[in-house]
Each structure stands twice: as structure tokens, then as C-alpha cells.
């Protein structure tokens, strides 16, 4: 049994009246702490993290209005990623709740309430639904948030991402998205792609084979030459490289030497210069 399987089992037994129901956290040390995203509704204060059966020190609690995530690289995703990287979170859970006021507020009511606070409509973004993540179904909102987290590039691919709903009155949990099943399905698809669609990939993921000396190539030290198998030095034939002659220089048919002399012009015969002068008799 894995962590959230034990959490749901203990929660349902406690909701049914079992006073001894609980989670033995010492058995799930490798899956703790849990990073949880919930709504800011103050009615959740006495419920968390008791309904999960977790102690406070194993519960990293992130909150925003309506536990909304608007994109796979939003500020909430950044906080979830840092909770895993910095605080060591091992599993993520998006926990919505029934009777969520954020989901019950329409766009018209938002604009009216902002106006009452002195914020005119012109100061608000054009697309209020996209900006505030307004939703009509608490369950669909959880599913959407889980999908954004699971497809985010900054969330570790091996971190389970769960989606849950909690009854604000009874504290009973409902498991909407089983993060373990999602990881198992992804691993199965990956294995099938390797073996069925691209069998040559098996070689890339196979364990390193031993060489002739019985030492695995993975155990070779850095800088140590690896011995090749299947051939010896006598099999090597030196191939002399061919000397390539430079290609002949091509010359354009109309090419004129840079320093070629200018062509001679014919002598100019001036009729004025050769005309005899008046009154002068040529001997």
C-alpha cells in the first residue's frame, strides 16, 4: 500500500466512525513530505492536515483562491516546484472542496465587487475568466490543475500528482486523480514504445556488457583506455590518403587584364588644319 492509498483508506474508515483509523507515517518516510495546494477558504483551517492523517511537519501547504492553476508555468507551478526542490516534497496533491465560493462567483459579480473596492472595469484584464481562472465545477477545476502540473516542464516526472475533493462539512476525501496510476501508465507506454515500435532502443537501455577481461565498461575509470573486442592490431590496415590536385584556374572569356594598355586611337584629320591659307601659294 502506498501513501495516498493509506490516506484514503484511513479517511474513509474514520468517516464511517472508526476511532482507531489513522496513517502510520513511519511506514511512508520515503513519500513524505506531501505538498498540497488548497483554497484560501478559512473553513479548511481546522481540516488540514488532519483529514489526511499527516503531522504538520510533513505537510507543505500552498493556498490560493479556488486552488486555481492557469498555466503550466504559472507562479503557483513555480511554488510547487520549489516546494519539491527546496523543501523536499515527494508527492503533490491538489485538494478542492465542496461549496467553493470562488467557483460560485460570476464575472459580473467580480466586476461589481471590484468596483465597490474602487477598481474600475478599465483597470482589470480584458479576459477575466482566463486571468482569474473562474470555474463552474470544483471537480473540473481540480482535474485541470492536475493536468497543468503533470505537463509542466519544471515538475519532476517521477513525482505523483494527485487530485482530491474534500467535503467541507464532513471532511471525507474523494480521490479524483490517482497519481500512481498516471505514473504507471506512462511507464507502461514508454516500455511499449521501446519494445514494440522501436526495438533498436533496447540496446540503448540495456545494461553494459562485460568485456573479455570480465570488467564492465561502466566500471572503467575516466581516462583509462578501453580494450576493444572482436579485432586486433594486425587487422588494422593503413590507408594512405589521396593527394588531391588543385583544380585548374578558370578565366572568363571577356576577362581583360587589369593593366592592359588602352587601344590606340586613329589620328584625327582636321579640315581646318590642312586647309591652305588664303593668299599663300604653295611652292
Per-residue confidence (pLDDT) for residue 133, from 0 to 100 = 85
Contact of 174 with 191, CB cutoff 8 Å: no
Digit-coded pLDDT (tens) for 13-67: 999 999 999 999 999 999 999 999 999 999 999 999 999 999 999 999 999 999 9
Distance CA 32, CA 24 (A): 12
**Architecture of the domain made up of 3-104+133-190:** 3-Layer(aba) Sandwich (3.40)
Alpha-carbon distances of 199 from 67, 138, 194, 222, rounded to whole Å = 43, 44, 6, 31
Per-residue confidence (pLDDT) for residue 186, from 0 to 100 = 78
Of 43, 130, 153, the C-alpha closest to 95 is 43
Q: In what order do the strands lie in the sheet with 59-64?
A: 59-64, 34-39, 91-97, 161-166, 173-177
Distance CA 220, CA 204 (A): 18
Distance CA 196, CA 210 (A): 27
Per-residue confidence (pLDDT) for residue 134, from 0 to 100 = 82
Distance CA 160, CA 155 (A): 10
Q: Per residue of the chain (283 residues), what is the pLDDT tens digit? A: 999 999 999 999 999 999 999 999 999 999 999 999 999 999 999 999 999 999 999 999 999 999 999 999 999 999 999 999 999 999 999 999 999 988 888 899 999 999 999 999 999 999 988 888 888 899 999 999 999 999 999 999 999 999 999 999 999 999 999 999 988 887 787 777 666 666 665 555 555 544 444 444 455 454 555 544 444 445 555 555 555 566 555 555 555 555 556 666 666 555 555 555 555 455 4
Per-residue confidence (pLDDT) for residue 231, from 0 to 100 = 44
Domain ranges of the chain: 3-104+133-190
Distance CA 142, CA 140 (A): 5
Per-residue confidence (pLDDT) for residue 222, from 0 to 100 = 45
Alpha-carbon distances of 141 from 28, 38, 107, rounded to whole Å = 29, 12, 16
Per-residue confidence (pLDDT) for residue 11, from 0 to 100 = 98
Distance CA 180, CA 183 (A): 5
Give the three-class secondary structure for 177. strand
Give the three-class secondary structure for 164. strand
Alpha-carbon distances of 119 from 109, 131, 135, rounded to whole Å = 13, 16, 22
Of 282, 32, 14, 272, the C-alpha closest to 166 is 14
Whether the upstream peptide bond of residue 49 has omega within 30° of 0, thus cis, is yes
Amino acid at each position: 500500500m502506498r501513501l495516498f492509498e493509506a490516506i484514503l483508506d484511513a479517511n474513509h474508515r474514520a468517516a464511517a466512525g472508526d476511532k482507531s483509523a489513522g496513517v502510520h507515517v513511519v511506514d511512508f518516510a520515503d513519500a513524505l513530505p506531501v505538498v498540497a495546494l488548497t483554497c484560501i477558504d478559512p473553513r479548511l483551517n481546522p481540516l488540514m492536515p488532519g483529514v489526511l492523517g499527516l503531522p504538520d511537519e510533513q505537510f507543505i501547504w500552498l493556498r490560493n483562491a479556488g486552488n486555481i492553476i492557469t498555466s503550466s508555468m504559472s507562479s503557483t507551478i513555480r511554488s510547487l516546484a520549489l516546494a519539491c526542490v527546496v523543501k523536499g516534497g515527494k508527492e503533490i496533491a491538489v485538494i478542492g472542496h465542496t461549496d467553493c465560493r470562488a467557483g460560485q462567483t460570476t464575472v459580473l459579480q467580480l466586476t461589481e465587487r471590484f468596483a465597490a473596492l474602487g477598481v474600475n472595469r478599465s483597470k482589470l484584464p480584458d479576459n477575466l475568466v482566463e486571468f482569474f481562472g473562474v470555474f463552474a465545477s470544483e471537480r473540473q477545476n481540480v482535474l485541470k490543475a492536475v493536468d497543468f502540473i503533470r505537463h509542466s516542464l519544471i515538475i519532476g516526472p517521477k513525482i505523483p500528482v494527485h487530485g482530491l475533493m474534500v467535503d467541507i462539512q464532513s471532511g471525507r476525501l474523494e480521490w479524483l486523480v490517482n497519481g500512481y496510476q498516471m505514473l504507471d501508465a506512462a511507464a507502461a507506454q514508454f516500455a511499449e514504445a521501446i519494445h514494440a515500435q522501436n526495438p533498436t532502443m533496447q540496446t540503448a537501455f540495456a545494461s553494459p556488457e562485460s568485456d573479455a577481461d570480465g570488467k564492465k565498461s561502466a566500471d572503467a575509470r575516466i581516462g583509462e583506455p578501453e580494450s576493444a573486442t572482436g579485432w586486433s592490431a594486425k587487422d588494422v590496415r593503413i590507408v594512405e590518403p589521396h593527394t588531391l590536385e588543385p583544380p585548374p584556374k578558370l578565366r572568363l572569356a571577356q576577362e581583360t587584364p587589369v593593366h592592359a594598355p588602352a587601344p590606340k586611337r586613329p589620328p584625327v584629320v582636321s579640315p581646318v588644319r590642312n586647309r591652305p591659307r588664303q593668299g599663300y601659294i604653295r611652292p
